Amino acid sequence: MQATFALPLRRAANPRALLAGALAALLPGLAAAQFTLAPLPYPSNALEPHIDAMTMEIHHGRHHAAYVNNLNAQIKQYPELATLSLEDMQRQISRFNMAVRNNGGGHYNHDLFWQLMAPEGQRGQPGEALLADIGKTFGSLADMKKRFDQAALSRFGSGWAWLIITPDRKLAITSTPNQDNPLMDLPDVQRGTPILGLDVWEHAYYLKYQNKRGEYVTNWWNVVNWNEVTRRYDAAMK
């Protein structure tokens, strides 16, 4: 009896445990932080030479991290954010303020973007059904890329180009400003499920390409993870 009683006393007296308990009591806001920055799904130099390691490190470790931190700062004003998936947040984004729209959008968009690229040998090709649908909708894969490039290049300022599945299950190309995306319930957004998206903010390419957005877009096609695009297409068309 004596031994089992003594053990918890020794644990409670551990200064590290006492410090951790005191910090948890003093900083309850930390416990509410719901959204986290996942590590890149590959090394930061895995997309070279098309996208350089430093761009990836700054883009993920500073820009994406800032969207996550700024989104978590909004949980105090909107506690319900902590109960929503990132996708559901986009679908009802009109309920929230601009900080949630910009940073919630930024977190969703970048989470998706990292997955839509892959190291050499893991990129695959568009699946059979996706390729047939691209042919039916745009003429050919090359024609789809041309249309997508136009959307990326004509987006004035910062934003994204998207290949989406519309609510009537058709492929379409669209673009959004800032960190908006096609899931958002906003009047100026062509809505649908994104299966491919390209970040055309200058922070995505400026270190390597400076003002040459066209060159960045052309080279980006080399790193597209067609396995993931196909998986998303098949899931959306089920």
Residue closer to Fe ion by CB (options 161, 204) is 204
In the complex, least distance from residue 162 CB atom to Fe ion, rounded to whole angstroms: 14
CA distances from 153 to 29, 110, 156 (A): 41, 19, 8
The mark string for 110-149 relative to Fe ion (x by CB under 5 A, - otherwise) is: ----------------------------------------
In the complex, least distance from residue 51 CB atom to Fe ion, rounded to whole angstroms: 12
In the complex, least distance from residue 200 CB atom to Fe ion, rounded to whole angstroms: 9
Number of residues binding to Fe ion, judged by CB under 5 A = 3
Residue closer to Fe ion by CB (options 116, 171) is 116
Three-state DSSP at 162 gives strand
Given a contact cutoff of 8 angstroms between Cβ atoms, the answer to whether 230 and 126 are in contact is yes
Phi/psi at 222 (5° precision): -65, -20
- Closest residue (Cβ) to Fe ion? 199
CA–CA dist 221, 196 (Å, integer): 11
Residue closer to Fe ion by CB (options 149, 199) is 199
Q: What residues from 167 to 226 belong to the interface with Fe ion (CB under 5 A)?
A: 199, 201, 204
Beta bridge partners of 193: 165
In the complex, least distance from residue 185 CB atom to Fe ion, rounded to whole angstroms: 22
CA–CA dist 92, 98 (Å, integer): 13
The DSSP H or E segment spanning 45 is none
Strand order in the sheet with 171-177: 171-177, 159-165, 193-199
Computed from CA positions of residues 44, 48, 51, 53, in that sequence, does the dihedral angle turn out positive or negative? positive
Alpha carbon 94 to its chain's center: 19
Residue closer to Fe ion by CB (options 60, 232) is 60
In the complex, least distance from residue 227 CB atom to Fe ion, rounded to whole angstroms: 22
CA–CA dist 42, 48 (Å, integer): 12
Residue closer to Fe ion by CB (options 161, 171) is 161
In the complex, least distance from residue 188 CB atom to Fe ion, rounded to whole angstroms: 20
Residue closer to Fe ion by CB (options 158, 166) is 158
Residue ranges that bind Fe ion, judged by CB under 5 A: 199, 201, 204
